Structure 1
Amino acid sequence: MRFDPAFDDPLPALTGAPGPESLHHVPLAPESVTTLWQENNGSYVTEGVQEQPLDEAGSPGRVGRGSAVSAGTNVCVLIGELCRPRQWHLPVLAVSVAINVVLLVCIAARAASWRSDPQTAGTAATVLGCQDGWIGYRRICYYVPWEKGSWESSQRACSSLGASLAVLKREWEVPFLRRLKGSTDCWFGLRRQDGRLVWADDTVYNGTFLVHGQGACAYMSDNHFSTSSCSQLRPYICSVALAPL
């Protein structure tokens, strides 16, 4: 394509259209820009407002809506697809809330079934942890209901909870249970059978501590272990070991 040299002179400005000299090419300082976000045909644009020095006519110039600014200004135009809020947030949040509600309902229903069935509750304690109202120490759960009963009725009550009268085969259990029971005399899982002391789990007493008396059933007092008739009414201590990890 060829150009005639005669046409090298610049064209005059069109009537009604601003010439280059009428545009203010003044960089906008960051602190003086007011940014407004609007949606326009699917896109987001900004408007910058910048006070200008007096123009040739003596009136202050402004850069505003629709005004032309230089490439060095801080006005930006963002693609609408990048700034548009993601519509999948709300459905995902709703699904998450629904799942949490279902889990809470299942946990509450399972806990209610454990409380309504003592045997199931006792079995669950050996798997998940101590039941409500029980005290756990070194992976053994203890329970003192403070109800009085004979040795046999106390053992049946503990058995209904998935436990037995407390079996004390470790030295640390003695001071722990003394603190747990306080000053009350309590049955624990030791009785005399065929002239020898046997634990509630049918293992033979190994002499961990001294037992006074020749009664048939053993109880724990303030500062010693003793025996008496099994028909006497006392509070009792239940225990159950947790399953190994």
Structure 2
Amino acid sequence: MSTTKTIRKKTDRWHRRVEAGDWNTITAEVNEYGGALLPQLLAPEETVEIRELYEQDGLFRSTVDMGRHRFGEGQYRYFNAPYPESVERLKQALYPRLLPIARDWWTKLGRPAPCPDSFDEWLQMCHDAGQTKSTAILLRYREKDWNALHRDLYGDLVFPLQVVINLNVPDVDHTGGEFLLLEQRPRAQSRGTSTLLPHGHGYLFTTRDRPVRSARGWSAAPVRHGVSAIRSGERHTLALVFHDAA
């Protein structure tokens, strides 16, 4: 990448928004709980623009009816690649901040740490492994819709962190719809957390599991995520997964 392009990348609004976060605190929280609130990543007008993409069929490779597949109730759509600018630029801006956390987790769990410094190189590794399907998701929930606890794995190459952004105003556009994490703790009862995501803010969370201290060092605590029932209104979210699908 040329020096000019590097400077532009580091000074654009997407990068500035990501860097506005207190990443020491974010890292500590995701290490402890498996999830952490991020700063505002999308301006109000940008959330409207992304919500309105939902009806443009040509932008999506697949639509999933959650009720039909017993995933909950509601609907989501996988974006085609190349992505809309906001989606692509946010993934590019977030990846360098997530990578040190991912590498630390892999080291603690004794797993290979395959991710290169460049997000584009990581995606090429996914594609070389047969994971070529785009994974950014636009989700729509209406009254009484919900999302069952699950994990977004998609293939052998899995980036251990992902981000979701609320595109609506809580308690105005919708009530309910809290983001849920359920952690299966080693030799203990499961632990749950519930977070109502502010408008335009991101939430960073584990894709599969997180490292927890054990008598023998570090163990993997499996974590699933979901969404509580929408009590009224409508809620859209943008989900940014950092590995492609087989």
Quick check: which has more Rg, 1 or 2?
1
Query: Normalising by structure 1, what TM-score?
Result: 0.23
* Greater strand proportion: 2
Query: Normalising by structure 2, what TM-score?
Result: 0.23
